[in-house]
Amino acid sequence: MDALSVRIGCLSVGDRTTEQTAAVEWCQSRGARVDTIDVTPESDSVIDADLATYDVLWWHRDEPVELDRKAIAAAAPAIRGVLESGGRLFLSLHALSAVEPLDIDPIAPDAAGTERIDHPSGFAAKAIHSDHPVFEGFVDRFYTLPAGENRPFARYEAVAPARGQLLGSAVHAGELLPAHKEILSWRVGEGHVYGVGARVEFADNAAGEFSVDRDRFVSNILATLGGDRRPTFTDRPTDAAGFDRLRARFADDHHRPTYHLSPPAGWLNDPNGIIHHDGTYHVFYQYNPMGPFHGTIHWGHATSEDLRTWCDEPVALSPDPDGPDRDGCWSGCAVVDAGGTPTILYTGGRGSDQLPCLATAGDDRLHSWRKDPANPIIPAAPDDPAVLATDDWDAEFRDHNVWAVGDTWYHLIGAGLSEGGGAALLYRGDTLRDWEYVGPLLSGDHDVADTVWECPELLDLGEVSLLHVSNYRDVRYFLGVADLSTPGFAVETEGLLDHGALYAPQSTTTPDGRVLMWGWIKETRSVDGQWRAGWSGALSIPRELSIGSAGDLVQQPARELRALRSEPTFDGSADLTAGEHRPIAATNNALELRAEIEPLGDVSFELGLFESPARSERTVVRCRRDGIVVDRSNSTHDPDPDTSSVRMPIDADGSDGVSLRVFVDGSILTVFANDRHCLTTRVYPSRSDATGVSVAAFDGDLSVRSLTAWPLEASSGDRAFRNRQDRQ
């Protein structure tokens, strides 16, 4: 064992507990020089020691901080002062809760007490920090506590620290609990703080069979804090350079998209507040900066002037520990109010409430937002029809779509109904703060229990309106006529906006009047798979929505994306004989393919994508007269991702045959058929060279009238953000 050659000051208030004494002895047994430092609020000096002489201050505490809150608050100025000028502090067990009274973070852990875990428990390093020195010598996961016995703990569960970053979460018997945020770090001035809220105990052989790993972990922490090579990298950047460093961490991840918007790291779900303001597109999104799992939702922010090149902007909305959005700033929209101020309407989550909140922009770049002191601006869900209550929520009532007709504002909120099915509830107001309930614009699926119509949106497409709702599974759209007074929606046709992994889309109107829609593309890998990746979710490419000559819904990739194309690697036609497999030149997995195929009859056309050199990994887009199947059964050798097939009905037998536009980007595959039908799915080949493309026909010969493959020179996704310097 190498000696722990650091000088440690072990803080405690009043008499040291057995556990605190054991921790001091443990330090001595590791060869560290240790002093005990008493925090005594009664004395004039509070702390009678020169804190700056220690390499590390360690506050290890197995009792709730509430018991000594006064003493801790009294010690705060001295400890903060040391930190500001470069001091190092380790807070373990309940001492993690001292971050708030010590003025290290305004948000304290929301869960603390004692708990009994009936399995061995430990930690999983967050992928983006897996090379952090506190994890030296561990591979991904490790255990520090055997089963049984009540143990002290403090952690962030429903809330996130305002300033700290998460380094690792809990593992119980092999099961990852990402929302149990237990290993954290902070920068305070020039100083560093590490916190571990559970499972680092010394008294009575607490670590038992896991003491070797416990020793290594605690030694790593003290040696890193006390040494001279502490990482300064943060996954909570606030400036362009910081975001660039964060994205650069994924440089070797061939599943990362390059022209789809992805989170800089961590979790992304719904697009929110999409608005074209002052010549710039602003896309906000549901974002968990803590890691690649849903929870502690903030609003992430990206901007673009041309829809190809994107910039990360600082997080726009964060949960407020004292506000109605304490547990999350959920989905919503942005509009410009009558006085010209960009305004966000979003759902605040707190306890069992989800209620409408409002925030106004404080600057033209939409960086700063002021939450309305009157939040929530609608105090409760309406009662006619009765809104669904569940074990978790008093009312399933959330997500916002706001628009103006003349001087009147209209506002749709998604809901589930007690009688079953979902509803889009309509409100009307003279201002964005005062809303009168009108009634359900549309409700449906009454035989479906416990569903909610999330993220409803009403779009004006000329002769008809389009209403879409996300019902936990699909995004359903209704074309018809909206009556905003009665209210009601006369449905003429309906369908699915996408047959794959797209969810909760939101739209905006371009300056030249086109309706563009983005959606959340879900992952189809496990919670563990997402944790290992370090990021989760992406936004779709923008789609232009319009009404075709037959009155049907047309969906096309935004025309701006054509500017991503470089010289085609293939451009011609292909007469395929049955069974023949023809490779098509392609450079990497950032490409667009266009194929115009004659009517299929009994023949099936196959487009092979993500093909490895030996073709042991490949994904097949199989086109038959009645539908397209994306066959993922051989898409990866990794056992984790979902490899089931995804199907989309189409009519590929009309006199015009079938026209395909296919977009491939890292792990994202989107198929547009006949400018009408869309299927977005995820594919995770294990090999980074699984970039091959081929075409084939089966059960007969087939003529592909034209086939073009373009590499897409991505200037969004990670590449855009890396190209930031070039653009400025």
Distance CA 255, CA 652 (A): 31
In the complex, least distance from residue 292 CB atom to ligand FRU, rounded to whole angstroms: 14
556 in Cβ contact with 678 (< 8 Å): no
In the complex, least distance from residue 690 CB atom to ligand FRU, rounded to whole angstroms: 30
Tokens of 457: 């949106």
CA 495 and chain centroid, separation? 27
Under the binding rule (CB under 6 A), the answer on residue 680 touching ligand FRU is no
What track of x and - describes contact with ligand FRU for positions 70 through 109 (by CB under 6 A)? ----------------------------------------
Tokens of 688: 């980074």
Distance CA 182, CA 635 (A): 36
521 in Cβ contact with 287 (< 8 Å): no
Binding residue (CB under 6 A) for ligand FRU from 24, 75, 96, 297: 297
- Grouping H, G, I as helix, E, B as strand and the rest as coil, residue 348 is strand
Please identify, using beta-carbon distances, which residue of 100 and 399 lies nearer to ligand FRU: 399
Please identify, using beta-carbon distances, which residue of 294 and 582 lies nearer to ligand FRU: 294
347 in Cβ contact with 354 (< 8 Å): yes
In the complex, least distance from residue 286 CB atom to ligand FRU, rounded to whole angstroms: 4
In the complex, least distance from residue 314 CB atom to ligand FRU, rounded to whole angstroms: 19
Please identify, using beta-carbon distances, which residue of 99 and 297 lies nearer to ligand FRU: 297
In the complex, least distance from residue 285 CB atom to ligand FRU, rounded to whole angstroms: 10
In the complex, least distance from residue 269 CB atom to ligand FRU, rounded to whole angstroms: 5
Phi and psi (nearest 5°) for 559?
Answer: -60, -25
In the complex, least distance from residue 297 CB atom to ligand FRU, rounded to whole angstroms: 5
Under the binding rule (CB under 6 A), the answer on residue 313 touching ligand FRU is no
* Stretch 355-374 residues interacting with ligand FRU (CB under 6 A): none
Strand order in the sheet with 488-496: 454-460, 465-470, 475-483, 488-496
In the complex, least distance from residue 265 CB atom to ligand FRU, rounded to whole angstroms: 17
Q: Dihedral angle at the C-alpha atoms of 270, 426, 390, 373, nearest 10 degrees?
A: 70
Please identify, using beta-carbon distances, which residue of 342 and 456 lies nearer to ligand FRU: 456
According to DSSP, the residues that pair with 227 across neighbouring strands are none
Please identify, using beta-carbon distances, which residue of 56 and 459 lies nearer to ligand FRU: 459
In the complex, least distance from residue 612 CB atom to ligand FRU, rounded to whole angstroms: 33
In the complex, least distance from residue 402 CB atom to ligand FRU, rounded to whole angstroms: 15
Please identify, using beta-carbon distances, which residue of 226 and 273 lies nearer to ligand FRU: 273
Instruction: Kindly state the number of chain residues that form the binding site for ligand FRU, as judged by CB under 6 A.
Output: 13
Please identify, using beta-carbon distances, which residue of 74 and 539 lies nearer to ligand FRU: 539
71 in Cβ contact with 12 (< 8 Å): no
Place of tokens 């939450």: 371
Pairing of strands 7-13, 33-40: parallel
What track of x and - describes contact with ligand FRU for positions 481 through 520 (by CB under 6 A)? ----------------------xx----------------
Distance CA 399, CA 718 (A): 29
In the complex, least distance from residue 274 CB atom to ligand FRU, rounded to whole angstroms: 15
What track of x and - describes contact with ligand FRU for positions 562 through 601 (by CB under 6 A)? ----------------------------------------
Q: Could you tell me which residues come within 8 angstroms of residue 175 by beta carbon, excluding any fewer than 6 positions away?
A: none
Q: Dihedral angle at the C-alpha atoms of 567, 573, 578, 584, nearest 10 degrees?
A: -10
Please identify, using beta-carbon distances, which residue of 347 and 674 lies nearer to ligand FRU: 347
Place of tokens 């547990």: 327
DSSP state of 21: H
Q: What are the Cα distances from residue 422, in Å, to 385, 392, 437, 446?
A: 11, 17, 17, 8
537 in Cβ contact with 527 (< 8 Å): no
- Grouping H, G, I as helix, E, B as strand and the rest as coil, residue 689 is coil
Please identify, using beta-carbon distances, which residue of 58 and 453 lies nearer to ligand FRU: 453
Residue in 652, 625, 640, 721 with CA at minimum distance from that of residue 682: 640
- Per this entry, what is the length of the chain? 728
* Stretch 236-275 residues interacting with ligand FRU (CB under 6 A): 269-270
* Stretch 327-346 residues interacting with ligand FRU (CB under 6 A): 330-331
Q: Could you tell me which residues come within 8 angstroms of residue 728 by beta carbon, excluding any fewer than 6 positions away?
A: none
Under the binding rule (CB under 6 A), the answer on residue 454 touching ligand FRU is yes
Please identify, using beta-carbon distances, which residue of 270 and 313 lies nearer to ligand FRU: 270
Please identify, using beta-carbon distances, which residue of 347 and 667 lies nearer to ligand FRU: 347
According to DSSP, the residues that pair with 706 across neighbouring strands are 596
Distance CA 41, CA 439 (A): 59
Please identify, using beta-carbon distances, which residue of 195 and 263 lies nearer to ligand FRU: 263
What track of x and - describes contact with ligand FRU for positions 29 through 68 (by CB under 6 A)? ----------------------------------------
In the complex, least distance from residue 330 CB atom to ligand FRU, rounded to whole angstroms: 3
In the complex, least distance from residue 539 CB atom to ligand FRU, rounded to whole angstroms: 13
Binding residue (CB under 6 A) for ligand FRU from 455, 590, 621, 662: 455
345 in Cβ contact with 317 (< 8 Å): no
Please identify, using beta-carbon distances, which residue of 262 and 636 lies nearer to ligand FRU: 262
In the complex, least distance from residue 474 CB atom to ligand FRU, rounded to whole angstroms: 12
**572-607: burial string, b at 16+ Cβ within 10 Å, e else:** eebebeeeeebebebebbbbbbbbbbbebeebbbbb
Distance CA 383, CA 372 (A): 25
CA 298 and chain centroid, separation? 9
Please identify, using beta-carbon distances, which residue of 293 and 478 lies nearer to ligand FRU: 293
- In 10 A of CB 71, how many CB atoms? 21
What track of x and - describes contact with ligand FRU for positions 140 through 179 (by CB under 6 A)? ----------------------------------------
Please identify, using beta-carbon distances, which residue of 503 and 535 lies nearer to ligand FRU: 503
* Stretch 389-408 residues interacting with ligand FRU (CB under 6 A): 398-399
In the complex, least distance from residue 398 CB atom to ligand FRU, rounded to whole angstroms: 5
Element spanning 82, H or E: helix 69-84
In the complex, least distance from residue 349 CB atom to ligand FRU, rounded to whole angstroms: 8
CA 203 and chain centroid, separation? 40
In the complex, least distance from residue 522 CB atom to ligand FRU, rounded to whole angstroms: 9
408: exposed, middle or buried (C-beta count within 10 Å: 0-12, 13-18, 19+)? exposed
Binding residue (CB under 6 A) for ligand FRU from 185, 219, 286, 667: 286
Please identify, using beta-carbon distances, which residue of 104 and 504 lies nearer to ligand FRU: 504
According to DSSP, the residues that pair with 194 across neighbouring strands are 90, 185
- Grouping H, G, I as helix, E, B as strand and the rest as coil, residue 23 is helix
526: exposed, middle or buried (C-beta count within 10 Å: 0-12, 13-18, 19+)? middle
In the complex, least distance from residue 681 CB atom to ligand FRU, rounded to whole angstroms: 18
Distance CA 137, CA 333 (A): 46
Please identify, using beta-carbon distances, which residue of 196 and 496 lies nearer to ligand FRU: 496
Binding residue (CB under 6 A) for ligand FRU from 121, 347, 465, 471: 347
Please identify, using beta-carbon distances, which residue of 350 and 661 lies nearer to ligand FRU: 350
Can you give the binding site for ligand FRU, defined by CB under 6 A?
269-270, 286, 297, 330-331, 347, 398-399, 454-455, 503-504
